[in-house]
Amino acid sequence: MSAERLDPATIEIVRRRLEAVAEEMQAVMLRSAVSPIVREANDASASLFLPDGTVMAQSISLPLLLGCLMPAVARMLRDFPVEEMRPGDVYLMNDPYDGGTHIPDVSLMVPVFAEGRVIALAGTILHHQDLGGLTPGSLPTTSTEIFQEGLRLPPLRLAREGVSDPQILRIIALNTRTPDAFAWDLEAQIAACRVAATRMEELAGRHGADALTAMMQELVRRAEAATRAAIRAIPDGSWTYEDALDNDGIELDREVPIRVRVTVEGDAITFDFTGTSPQVRGPVNAAPAGVMAGCFFALRAVTGPDIPNNGGCARPLRVVLPEGSLLNPRMPAPLNARTGTVKLLTNAILGALAQALPDRIPAANSGCSTVMALSGRRADGSARVVTEVLAGGSGGSAQGPGVHGVSTDVGNTMNLPVEAMETDAPVRVHHWRVRRGSGGAGLHPGGCGIDREYEVLRGPLTLTFRGERHFHAARGSAGGGDGRVAEAWVVRNDGRREAVRSKLTTVLNTGDRLLMGTAGAGGWGPTT
């Protein structure tokens, strides 16, 4: 059926229904997962796709994971075309060098059938607690090649007509320190996709598969047209911005620059990262999937929330990623710590666009997502891994001050509640509070970071700490001040104090403490 013959109100209702399905997928996944990083911090995302891999609807979750799910689904379709799929099939992958983002993020896809054919694909991506590698949590700050970061999974068919492949599951179980948690979290992903299949079958039953397909394709067309119109409203021109990572985790005194040139020409936009650092020895390199997620978020941020959030929005976007660079590394460069890199490149894009749209773009966000993993052994000898993600502040803007202690830009994780941390790890959290004065000054001040202190009650515990903004502050805008840089220390039980230079792997013993303060954001506008 042609979309032109359909009532516009019906198309809008279908759009909202598709978004509701994606939201229900997200809710099922978060309720069903067992790992704290998912059930508490919400480190997972869900989307619906057309059979050709075009994203159709996304949950309100993590832009980084939502963006990374798109190339993962496209990659799985290359090996498993929809014509060969059957009801009950399940596919997965995580290889960062072949459509994935970093090893802990496993993407999963399930075909949705109606009237005897595939009408959609349900996709989920979830940060699994551990998939091997040098350190528990699969986020080693000292890795120098991908082989040290954990188990890489190419596109695989995990289940055929509802029957899982036990060999694949056995291989994964032998390569994770937390096999039970992996199995439960994987089932949470599958359950979310099955709910989507049921809801989409109901929707096709109401409208007919052909009419539903026509409406979904029309929504993609409309999103592209609206995005191009929003880009035309930006003045033509070219603007640059540069930021830098503190270090790569190996060479702790060497900053890693990120440079972008944003060019607007009519209804098209280009993000060119020529001039960004070559790939580095440490794990802060970013696979193109993560980079594209940041670019997609930045584009959506300046084109408006009313446009349907689907693959049509990305069609006016061109991204230039020099091969062998920090943002398009060659094998076997490590890249588990790509989050900070993607956050800074996203802020760099917005910083460039702020020169064209000073009243619409906030000052720089904190640009960090501090990740701390604690691991050890329980009394029964089983492994424990608890990962915490700590946010900073959001930038002040022409509309008002920034927000304290919030996950910004491509991140959207929640803090781990103190009760959950103390339940899952043998630690005491002495305080969790706003880091007053860390936001940049201005007419509208930047949001502050947070302070948190942990004491180890029963050691030893392996600490993996991955921070950013310890040396390069988030910049103010329109005359506003810069945010305060991040700080962290390990205080040993004998009183010795060891500074953390943004990335660290060490052992904490009973009585040792970890203190950290995340970065504040830039302020907007002069104070007088």
With a cut of 60, say whether residue 4 has pLDDT above it.
no
The pLDDT value given to residue 83: 96
Domain range summary for the chain, segments of one domain joined by +: 3-224, 362-528
Task: Over range 232-257, report the average pLDDT.
Answer: 95
The pLDDT value given to residue 528: 74
Task: Over range 291-310, report the average pLDDT.
Answer: 93
The pLDDT value given to residue 280: 98
* Separation CA 407–CA 370 (nearest Å): 10
The pLDDT value given to residue 3: 46
Of 166-170, 252-256, 271-275, 295-299, the one with minimum mean pLDDT is 252-256
The pLDDT value given to residue 22: 98
Task: Over range 4-21, report the average pLDDT.
Answer: 89
With a cut of 70, say whether residue 51 has pLDDT above it.
yes
Under the banding of pLDDT at 50, 70 and 90, the label for residue 518 is: very high
Which residues have CB under 8 Å from 207's CB, separation 6+? 10, 14, 215
**% the chain with pLDDT above 90:** 88
The pLDDT value given to residue 434: 96
DSSP 267-313: TEEEEE-TTSPBP-SSTT---HHHHHHHHHHHHHHHH-TTS--SGGG
The pLDDT value given to residue 7: 83
Q: What region, left, alpha or beta, does residue 8 occupy, with left being phi > 0 and alpha being psi -120 to 50 degrees?
A: alpha
With a cut of 50, say whether residue 140 has pLDDT above it.
yes
**Pairing verdict, β 156-160 and 163-164:** antiparallel
With a cut of 60, say whether residue 361 has pLDDT above it.
yes
With a cut of 70, say whether residue 2 has pLDDT above it.
no
Strand partners, 320: 272
8 Å CB contact between 242 and 257: yes
